[in-house]
Structure 1
Amino acid sequence: MDIDAKDELEGRIKARKLVEEKTPYNVEFITRLSDKHLEYEKESGNFTITEL
């Protein structure tokens, strides 16, 4: 998720609010993924993109 925020904390708050408003998911933990980690997740076979 690409969030416009002045710092990481504000980004996490905005991301949590967006997910809770637009999906039935209950978010427990939000962390920034590096490009390398994102590529690994995509290749693992258990990866989906949800557009909000």
Structure 2
Amino acid sequence: MQPIQGLHHLTVMASDPQRNIDFYTQLLGQRLVKVTVNFDDPGTYHFYYGD
């Protein structure tokens, strides 16, 4: 069996959308790929990041 070489995706909930974007883009160096809303809770953003 091959060891896992990385992550496919990660799901995280956050209370402050701007702080979430700042953390992933500025601190971790990810790029914001897409912004939608959560299908189960349309009042919650769903951010997609990539490297």
Radius of gyration: which is bigger? 2
The structure that is helix-richer by fraction is: 1
TM-score, structure 2 normalization: 0.33
TM-score, structure 1 normalization: 0.33
